[in-house]
A and B are shown apart, each in its own frame.
Chain A
Amino acid sequence: DSGVTQTPKHLITATGQRVTLRCSPRSGDLSVYWYQQSLDQGLQFLIQYYNGEERAKGNILERFSAQQFPDLHSELNLSSLELGDSALYFCASSPLPSGTDTQYFGPGTRLTVL
């Protein structure tokens, strides 16, 4: 158990819908990262937050957005869902956004878009 929690574990929804994925980082970690794992694209970095502020963006679609709240939990919002958005979404956390920190991953949320 990495100490990173993600809810829900599984999510099944329809095309065009909107969903919210939630992540709670390890105790004391200020930085949160979101990754998408799909068969087509492999593991890809989406976005990073540090202490409530966006720090880096990767291959995140405009239909996707995220935020980190004062209690440091983070939410990833996916809207106008398409079949291709079906994937495993991971949250990871680290104490600081520094090069020496290791990112620890949560168990992931499996999103299925029908």
Chain B
Amino acid sequence: AQTVTQSQPEMSVQEAETVTLSCTYDTSESDYYLFWYKQPPSRQMILVIRQEAYKQQNATENRFSVNFQKAAKSFSLKISDSQLGDAAMYFCAYRGGGSNYKLTFGKGTLLTVNP
């Protein structure tokens, strides 16, 4: 079974600085998808960024980018120019490329942004 590990339960960053959240996963599949979701205090799950395993190029979405290392099974999220609104719980998630489309989530990293 696939597992997703987020080794940093909590992280903090100063406003306008850069922070990197770590995620590793375990899978025997070659085709899969990886996601970062953000859960602010409102509890809404918001998609931040996604990465297809077959793509070598790292995904970027404005201030958010990933460092996808397929051989190392690592998928970290970099947040540049951190803003107060970035404070939230961040979840890394895995989905296989087969017929089961469930998301497997890590335990999450709570990000605090200090003014």
Contacts and interface: CB of A to CB of B under 8 A. Distances in A.
A45 B67 CA distance: 26
B102 A58 contact: yes
Interface residues of B, number: 28
Interface string B78-115: 00000000000001000111111111111110000000
**A: contact size bracket:** 20 to 34
- Most B CB within 10 A of own CB, among A2, A43, A101: A43
Contact of B95 (A43, A90, A99, A110): A99
Given A88-B43, A107-B44, A108-B43, A42 B101 contact: no
A60 to B, nearest CB: 11
A40 B105 CA distance: 14
B35 interface: yes
A56 B102 CA distance: 8
Contacts of A98: 101
B33 interface: yes
Contacts of A42: 105-108
A100 B102 CA distance: 12
Contacts of B45: 90, 92, 105, 108
B50 A102 contact: yes
A103 interface: yes
Interface of A: 2, 31, 33, 35, 42-45, 48, 55-56, 58, 88, 90, 92, 94, 97-105, 107-108, 110
Interface of B: 31-33, 35, 37, 42-47, 50, 52, 91, 95-108
Given A56-B99, A97-B101, A103-B101, 12 more contacts: A33-B102, A42-B105, A43-B91, A43-B105, A45-B103, A90-B45, A92-B103, A94-B101, A97-B99, A102-B35, A105-B44, A107-B43
